[in-house]
Chains A and B, each alone.
Chain A
């Protein structure tokens, strides 16, 4: 106790160590975030030659727009689907890969493969796979009798996008779940095996609760992924089409700000997005994390 106090008292060294990190956060996060908040109250000409303070007008425009509402709804549904399927599938694969005895590393390698693919590259790959004229997956899907038309059908385009987003995220989740599974001690598993014959029940009563911290961490990561990192996929695969049906909130920020040069409206959307993700994260830590035992 005494030792600890002596060790840490008044020394500036720890602060010096974290300064670079704090600077990076300040320059690349806090400063742009403050700029976004400031711009969200302004109506500016694209070149920055004139600007007017307009109070909450940009927010008013957003919240009275039916398109923005449907974009928000799509983002939430899309996020829920991507998180659910990429976590579920990764868990299943991790449990199966963990019980493989021979060639485990080969399985692991193959399942982790996609992790190294950048979202934009994944999007372009998927574009070719689902292409009407040359796509292998397109042919398989149409052979089942489904008149698959992601260019014109909102449902088909959404299915395609969810599928690709899940495919891209499963490896990350897989790696973490597998590590989590291997962290469960052998003695616990053996004891469970003696007490309970049903593998299914063993999984839900012993393994899954022990994996909960990992699962919770992954859920936070996956929500962030579905909200932000899927931008590259959408931009290369659907551009938010058809009929704006696959436009997520981040993609709309890009469309209005980077393509349309309307910085005020685009900044207001960034602020809404920031608040939404903040609320979601707070909600998770308040209500979901309580059920997690470390």
Chain B
């Protein structure tokens, strides 16, 4: 039915080709199957109306896309829409004059915009100090725990809700000859989301939302305890560390070398294809001893930003595309195809009504986790030159796991580098 309508629309679009269309470009970092889904959505948008035409351009990894956007902006050739990832959010949001807030673009073009239409865990991550949405959350995911149902049943255990439970579960799995856990993104899962889940502060200036932070707070007793435990688990054979690369830690779960894996809710689709066993999904575990009422996690992934320096007509096209993207049907399609969470309440409702979660209960875990109680520090974070700080975190984790450093020294090194990066970045913002 929808396809037919779209087909007719496409035909009428061709008939009306003589009218001027506004062309806009969208630079993104979605490769492979994700890229195909992006192209499908762009084609549907182009077919759905005749005034605007969007061209998606794949620019490589998140970092490469951001760098390409930066170079283009400096040369006065910026694309209309660019996809910027979580760690780069501070870079674009703090630069006055690099991006036009999504909210402004939408309101100027005459669309109703209410930030409360977005699900709570997604709402403020790319917003500024006044809660104005600057970047439109696009591919939003969150860390979740995947578990091998058969291996857990063999050991007679349930997937752990807390890290305290994890220790018992892991020792039983170990007794059965299996390592319990691997994990794919140390900075995102064990650092940033560790703080969000336990509602702990990350930096001064309200995690960077009310100003430019200069103090990273990773050197705290809770994270220090967690990392000491992780090291202990590694030594006991509960936790297998396969280095810093995402895939190197995911593959052992697919090969059933480890019984559980901490990855992204967006990994679901790929995992389903790669794993030929039954697996389940559950919330990211937390420490009961740190916060009994652990709540929402942060989103990961990326957002779309409207770049500065284009004509009003082009911003209208951008607004029309953003409007199309946030339609419940579009969001549901994206959610179903990729495993990323739907970003609006309406899209989430639509997926529920459609019975999607009855057939696929795992697909709902990410959304539900993002809808858990939010706290003072679960809104997001905004840290300058955070890409470099993440690199330091990866580095120190490698060293910690190899026994070349201690938790104390590693955290000191991370905070030192992190603070230097924050201070340096703060000086570049005018």
**Stretch of B101-109, B328-336, B396-404 at the chain-chain interface:** B396-404
- Asked if A242 CB lies within 8 Å of chain B CBs, one says yes
A258 to chain B, nearest CB (A): 5
Instruction: Tell whether, in the assembled complex, residue A261 and residue B398 are in contact, meaning their CB atoms are under 8 Å apart.
Output: no
- Asked if A202 CB lies within 8 Å of chain B CBs, one says no
B197 to chain A, nearest CB (A): 26
- Which of A52, A258, A259 has the most chain B CB atoms closer than 10 A to its own CB? A259
Residues 136-162 of chain A: 1 if any B CB is under 8 Å from the residue's CB, otherwise 0? 000000000000000111100000000
Instruction: Tell whether, in the assembled complex, residue A243 and residue B70 are in contact, meaning their CB atoms are under 8 Å apart.
Output: no
Contact partners of A52 in chain B: CB under 8 A: 427-428
Nearest-CB residue, chain A, relative to B92: A47
Instruction: Tell whether, in the assembled complex, residue B398 and residue A133 are in contact, meaning their CB atoms are under 8 Å apart.
Output: no
- Which of B92, B391, B395, B404 has the most chain A CB atoms closer than 10 A to its own CB? B391
Contact partners of B396 in chain A: CB under 8 A: 243
Instruction: Tell whether, in the assembled complex, residue A260 and residue B385 are in contact, meaning their CB atoms are under 8 Å apart.
Output: yes
Contact partners of A43 in chain B: CB under 8 A: 424, 427-428
- Asked if A108 CB lies within 8 Å of chain B CBs, one says no
Q: Which of A24-71 contact B (CB under 8 A)?
A: 43-50, 52, 61
Contact partners of B399 in chain A: CB under 8 A: 242-243
B contact patch SS: helix
- Asked if B24 CB lies within 8 Å of chain A CBs, one says no
- Asked if B310 CB lies within 8 Å of chain A CBs, one says no
**Stretch of B35-43, B49-57, B242-250, B312-320 at the chain-chain interface:** B242-250
A157 to chain B, nearest CB (A): 9
Instruction: Tell whether, in the assembled complex, residue A154 and residue B385 are in contact, meaning their CB atoms are under 8 Å apart.
Output: no
Q: Which of B29-85 contact A (CB under 8 A)?
A: 63-64, 66-67, 70, 73-74
- Asked if B251 CB lies within 8 Å of chain A CBs, one says yes
Contact partners of A180 in chain B: CB under 8 A: none
Contact partners of A50 in chain B: CB under 8 A: 428-430
A contact patch SS: loop
- Which of A43, A47, A151, A256 has the most chain B CB atoms closer than 10 A to its own CB? A47
Q: A45-B429, A47-B98, A243-B402 are in contact. Are A258 and B74 (CB under 8 A)?
A: no
Contact for B96 among A49, A61, A239, A244, CB less than 8 A:
A49
Instruction: Tell whether, in the assembled complex, residue B429 and residue A261 are in contact, meaning their CB atoms are under 8 Å apart.
Output: no
A126 to chain B, nearest CB (A): 15
Instruction: Tell whether, in the assembled complex, residue A260 and residue B391 are in contact, meaning their CB atoms are under 8 Å apart.
Output: yes
B73 to chain A, nearest CB (A): 5
Residues 231-271 of chain A: 1 if any B CB is under 8 Å from the residue's CB, otherwise 0? 00000000101111000000000011011111000000000
Contact partners of B98 in chain A: CB under 8 A: 47, 49
Once bound together, how far apart are the Cα atoms of A151 and B402, in whole Å? 11
B248 to chain A, nearest CB (A): 5
Instruction: Tell whether, in the assembled complex, residue B255 and residue A133 are in contact, meaning their CB atoms are under 8 Å apart.
Output: yes
Instruction: Tell whether, in the assembled complex, residue A241 and residue B95 are in contact, meaning their CB atoms are under 8 Å apart.
Output: no
Instruction: Tell whether, in the assembled complex, residue B244 and residue A242 are in contact, meaning their CB atoms are under 8 Å apart.
Output: yes
Nearest-CB residue, chain B, relative to A134: B251
Q: A50-B430, A242-B398, A262-B385 are in contact. Are A255 and B67 (CB under 8 A)?
A: no
Once bound together, how far apart are the Cα atoms of A44 and B95, in whole Å? 11
Instruction: Tell whether, in the assembled complex, residue A241 and residue B398 are in contact, meaning their CB atoms are under 8 Å apart.
Output: yes
Nearest-CB residue, chain B, relative to A57: B424
Instruction: Tell whether, in the assembled complex, residue B404 and residue A255 are in contact, meaning their CB atoms are under 8 Å apart.
Output: no
Q: Which of B399-423 contact A (CB under 8 A)?
A: 399, 401-402, 404, 420
Contact partners of B242 in chain A: CB under 8 A: 132, 151-152
Nearest-CB residue, chain A, relative to B405: A243
Contact for A256 among B96, B251, B388, CB less than 8 A:
B388
A79 to chain B, nearest CB (A): 22
Instruction: Tell whether, in the assembled complex, residue A259 and residue B63 are in contact, meaning their CB atoms are under 8 Å apart.
Output: yes
Once bound together, how far apart are the Cα atoms of A259 and B424, in whole Å? 16
Contact for B63 among A45, A133, A258, CB less than 8 A:
A258
Residues of A within 8 A of B (CB): 43-50, 52, 61, 132-133, 151-154, 239, 241-244, 255-256, 258-262
Which 3 A-B pairs have CB atoms at the shortest separation, nearest pair first? A151-B243, A243-B398, A45-B428
30 residue pairs of the A-B complex, CB under 8 angstroms, read A43-B424, A46-B70, A47-B97, A47-B98, A49-B95, A49-B96, A49-B98, A50-B429, A50-B430, A52-B428, A132-B242, A132-B248, A133-B255, A151-B244, A152-B243, A152-B398, A152-B401, A154-B402, A239-B244, A242-B243, A243-B398, A243-B399, A243-B402, A243-B404, A259-B387, A260-B385, A260-B391, A261-B66, A261-B88, A261-B387
